[in-house]
Amino acid sequence: MCLYKAVLFEKIVYNKKGISLLNLMVALGVLALLITIALPNIRAYQPNLKLNATARNMAIDLRYAQQLTVTEQEVHRVNFDISKDKYVIEKIGAATTTVKTVEFDSEVNFQQITGLTDDRVVFNYYGGVSESGQIILININAKTATINVKPSGYIQLE
Give the number of other CB atoms < 10 A from CB of residue 21: 8
Give the number of other CB atoms < 10 A from CB of residue 65: 24
Report the predicted TM-score, pTM, of the whole model to 2 decimal places: 0.76
Closest Cα to residue 90, out of 136, 129, 131, 121?
121
Backbone angles phi, psi at 150, to 5 degrees: -90, 160
- So where are the chain's domains? 21-157
Kindly give the confidence (pLDDT) of every residue in the chain, 158 residues in length, as a single tens digit, with 9 standing for 90 and above: 555 555 555 555 555 566 788 888 999 999 999 999 988 888 888 899 999 999 999 999 999 999 999 999 999 999 999 999 999 999 998 889 999 999 999 999 999 999 999 999 999 999 999 899 999 999 999 999 999 999 999 999 98
How much is the pLDDT for 14? 52
- Give CA–CA dist 61/79, Å, rounded: 11
- Give CA–CA dist 85/111, Å, rounded: 10
Asked: is 21-157 a CATH 3.55.40.10 domain? The reply is yes
Rg (CA), the chain: 29
- Give CA–CA dist 136/74, Å, rounded: 27
